[in-house]
């Protein structure tokens, strides 16, 4: 097993302003590709471009979709134009395209996340769309340099922070699924990865802040990084993604309204815990404390869609979870949906 430690991991306020110093300290020179999208470029692009300009040549590339094709196109560009560094500024989609492209092209990936909405920002996995519309988790490498700018995180809509909470607490269900798969001889346990994933959600559950402040952002960033490291140990998303993620993938594929990944897996977590008869109040109370509203009605998920996606979840990916074993009826799922409307 090979563990690659990032060269640089900074979690601090106005961290993005230190990009030049960090790259300089790491002897970065040559050609840079700055990858982002127009809105983020408007907000934070100048700060990045100003610093890259001082280091050498840079080119700007906008990404509008997170597909395997897009990542391959970007990889070709990195290779053909002999670009040494891909600097990704954005959320999961931009970072995943950039992460996979850099991995294929064997170039250095610098990650500048603008949200903490999911645990992909510090993971060695890229989740990319295939031509058939379904998503695939592809193993690659963590960014060599990650700068989590807490000022930017506090600047973004609180809904994104709430999604990050959802994706982190989903580890709780993911670990139950993983253990269940191992107990049934369908998977192997990795104790280090298990511990890191557990530590990720437990440290978040112990957060002391009453509201989203810098302290809270640091705890959440820490949790997300621990989740990323858990994935690094297994080379897969297994420690942080179980049946609740399969449900979310089904929603992405069959659902009518797109919602934030973190909120969908949060809903999946509570729904699955109910389905297997596990206590979910610890998680639910935390969601309530920070106003993580995952009521299916609010997310525009109808009863029919909920039932369909719970039924289809098992088909979304080859991952053994409770869904492979438990028998549940349509009536049972409808009852859970009604309860969720009441409780969430």
Task: Please say which residue, 167 or 187, places its beta carbon nearer to Zn ion.
Answer: 167
Size of the site for Zn ion (CB under 5 A): 1
List Cα–Cα distances, 286 to 57, 89, 116, 301, in angstroms: 47, 30, 17, 22
Task: Please say which residue, 51 or 66, places its beta carbon nearer to Zn ion.
Answer: 66
Residue nearest to Zn ion (CB): 167
Q: How open is the CA angle 154-160-161, to the nearest 5 degrees?
A: 55
x-or-dash pattern for Zn ion, window 154-173, by CB under 5 A?
A: -------------x------
User: DSSP string of 163-200?
Assistant: HHHHHHHHHHHHHHHHHHHHHTTSS---HHHHHHHHHH
Report 166-205 residues binding Zn ion (CB under 5 A): 167
Task: Please say which residue, 88 or 228, places its beta carbon nearer to Zn ion.
Answer: 228
Shortest distance, CB of residue 272 to Zn ion, whole angstroms? Answer: 14
What letter does residue 338 receive in the DSSP assignment? H
Shortest distance, CB of residue 167 to Zn ion, whole angstroms? Answer: 4
Tokens of 117: 């909405």
Shortest distance, CB of residue 240 to Zn ion, whole angstroms? Answer: 6
Q: For the chain, how many residues are written?
A: 344
Task: Please say which residue, 23 or 98, places its beta carbon nearer to Zn ion.
Answer: 98
Shortest distance, CB of residue 248 to Zn ion, whole angstroms? Answer: 7
x-or-dash pattern for Zn ion, window 72-101, by CB under 5 A?
A: ------------------------------
Q: Which of 79, 30, 36, 80 is nearest to 55 (CA)?
A: 30
The answer to whether 233 touches 243, Cβ cutoff 8 Å, is: no
Please, what is the angle between helix 214-234 and helix 191-205, to 10°?
170
Shortest distance, CB of residue 262 to Zn ion, whole angstroms? Answer: 7
Binding site for Zn ion (CB under 5 A): 167
């Amino acid at each position: 097993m090979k563990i690659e430690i990032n060269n640089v991991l900074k979690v601090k306020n106005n961290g993005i302003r230190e990009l030049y110093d960090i790259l300089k300290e790491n002897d970065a020179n040559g050609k840079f590709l700055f990858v982002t999208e127009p809105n983020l470029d408007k907000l934070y692009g100048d700060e990045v471009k100003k610093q890259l300009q001082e280091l050498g040549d840079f080119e700007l590339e906008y990404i509008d979709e997170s597909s395997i094709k897009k990542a391959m196109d970007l990889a070709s560009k990195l290779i053909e134009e002999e670009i040494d560094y891909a600097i990704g500024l954005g959320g999961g989609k931009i970072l995943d395209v950039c992460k996979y492209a850099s991995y294929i092209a064997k170039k250095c990936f610098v990650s500048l996340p603008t949200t903490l909405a999911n645990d992909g920002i510090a993971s060695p996995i890229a989740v990319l769309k295939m031509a058939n519309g379904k998503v695939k988790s592809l193993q690659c490498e963590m960014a060599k340099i990650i700068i989590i700018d807490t000022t930017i995180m506090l600047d973004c809509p609180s809904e994104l922070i709430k999604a990050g909470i959802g994706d982190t607490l989903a580890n709780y269900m993911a670990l139950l699924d993983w253990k269940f798969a191992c107990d049934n001889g369908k998977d192997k346990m990795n104790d280090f990865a298990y511990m890191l994933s557990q530590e990720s959600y437990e440290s978040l559950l112990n957060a002391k802040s009453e509201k989203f402040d810098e302290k809270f952002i640091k705890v959440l960033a820490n949790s997300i990084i621990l989740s990323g490291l858990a994935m690094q140990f297994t080379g897969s998303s297994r420690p942080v993604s179980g049946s609740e993620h399969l449900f979310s993938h089904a929603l992405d594929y069959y659902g009518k309204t797109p919602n934030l990944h973190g909120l969908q897996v949060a809903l999946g977590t509570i729904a699955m815990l109910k389905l297997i008869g596990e206590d979910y109040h610890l998680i639910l109370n935390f969601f309530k404390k920070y106003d993580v509203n995952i009521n299916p009605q609010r997310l525009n998920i109808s009863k029919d869609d909920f039932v369909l996606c719970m039924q289809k979840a098992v088909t979304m990916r080859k991952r053994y979870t409770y869904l492979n074993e438990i028998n549940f009826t349509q009536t049972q799922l409808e009852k859970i949906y009604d309860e969720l409307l009441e409780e969430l």
